[in-house]
A and B are shown apart, each in its own frame.
Chain A
Amino acid sequence: MKFLPETVLALALLAGGAQAQVVVGDGIPQPLTETAGDPARGRAIVASRQRGLCLLCHTGPFPEERFQGNLAPTLAGAGSRSTPAQLRLRLVDPRRLNPDSIMPPYFSTEGLTRVGANWVAKTVLTAQEIEDVIAFLSTLRE
Chain B
Amino acid sequence: MRRLACLLLLLPAAALADERRSGSTYMSAETQAMQKDDTANPGMLWVQDGAALWSRKPAADKKACADCHGDAAASMKGVAARYPAFDAEQGRPVDLATRINLCREKHQQAAPFAAESESLLGLSAWLGLQSRGLPISPDPDPRSEPFREAGRRLYEQRMGQLNFACAQCHDDNAGKRLAGSVIPQAHPTGYPIYRLEWQGMGSLQRRLRNCMTGVRAEPFAYGAPEMVELELFLMSRAAGMTVETPGVRP
Q: Which of B162, B176, B218 has the most CB of A within 10 A?
A: B162
Which residues 47-79 of A have a CB within 8 angstroms of B?
Answer: 49, 53, 55-57, 66-71
Secondary structure of the B contact surface, majority rule: loop
B179-A68 in contact (CB<8A): yes
Contact B216 A119 (CB under 8 A): yes
Pair B160/A117 contact, Cβ less than 8 Å:
no
Q: How far is the CA of A53 from the CA of B160 in the complex (A)?
A: 14
Q: For the complex, is B213 an interface residue (Cβ under 8 Å from A)?
A: yes
Q: Which residue of B lies closest to A53 (CB)?
A: B162
Per-residue CB proximity of B60-76 to A under 8 Å, as 1/0? 00000000000000000
Closest B residue to A105 by CB, please name it: B163
The chain A residue with its CB closest to the CB of B219 is A116
CB-CB under 8 A from B45, the residues of chain A are: none
Q: Which of B163, B168, B212 gathers most chain A CB within 10 Å?
A: B163
Picked from B161, B173, B179, B217, the residue with its CB within 8 Å of the CB of A102 is B173
- Chain A positions within 8 Å of B213 at CB level: 116
B20 at the interface (CB under 8 A from A): no
Output the least CB separation between B185 and chain A (Å).
15
**A116–B159 CA distance with the chains assembled, in angstroms:** 9
Complex contacts, A70 vs chain B, CB 8 Å: 176-177
State the CA gap A109–B163 with chains docked (Å).
10
Q: Are B216 and A71 in contact (CB under 8 A)?
A: no
Given the known inter-chain contacts A102-B173, A115-B217, please indicate yes or no for A69 contacting B179, CB distance below 8 A: yes
Select one of A69, A117, A119 contacting B176, CB under 8 A. A69
CB of B179 within 8 A of CB of A67, answer yes
Categorize the interface residue count of chain B.
Answer: 20 to 34
Q: Are B160 and A114 in contact (CB under 8 A)?
A: yes
Q: How far, in whole Å, are A125 and B234 apart by their CA atoms in the complex?
A: 33
Residues in B neighbouring A39, C-beta threshold 8 A: none
Q: Determine the distance from Cα of A142 to Cα of B144 in the docked complex, in whole angstroms.
A: 56
Least CB separation from A55: chain B residue: B179
Instruction: Determine which of B160, B168, B177, B179 lies in contact with A115 in the assembled complex, contact meaning CB atoms within 8 Å.
Output: B160
Give bound CA distance, A49 to B177, whole Å. 14
Residue A12 lies at the interface, judged by CB distance under 8 Å to chain B? no
A70 to B160, CA, bound (A): 21
* B57 close to A (CB within 8 Å): no
Contact residue among B161, B168, B177 (Cβ-Cβ distance under 8 Å from A124)? B161
Contact assessment for A104 and B179 in the assembled complex, using a CB-CB cutoff below 8 Å: no
The smallest beta-carbon distance between A121 and chain B, in angstroms, is 10
In the complex the two chains form, is A49's CB within 8 Å of B163's CB?
no
A112 to B161, CA, bound (A): 7
Contacts of A104 in B (CB 8 A): 161-164
Give B171-199 as 1s and 0s: 1 = Cβ < 8 Å from A's Cβ atoms.
01100111110000000000000000000
CB distance from B242 to the nearest CB of A (A): 29
5 of the cross-chain contacts (CB-CB < 8 Å) are A49-B179, A68-B177, A104-B164, A112-B159, A114-B217
Given A71-B177, A115-B161, A116-B212, 8 more contacts at CB 8 Å? A53-B162, A66-B180, A69-B178, A70-B177, A113-B158, A114-B159, A115-B160, A119-B161
A-B pairs with the 7 shortest C-beta distances?
Answer: A67-B180, A119-B161, A104-B162, A114-B159, A67-B179, A114-B217, A119-B216
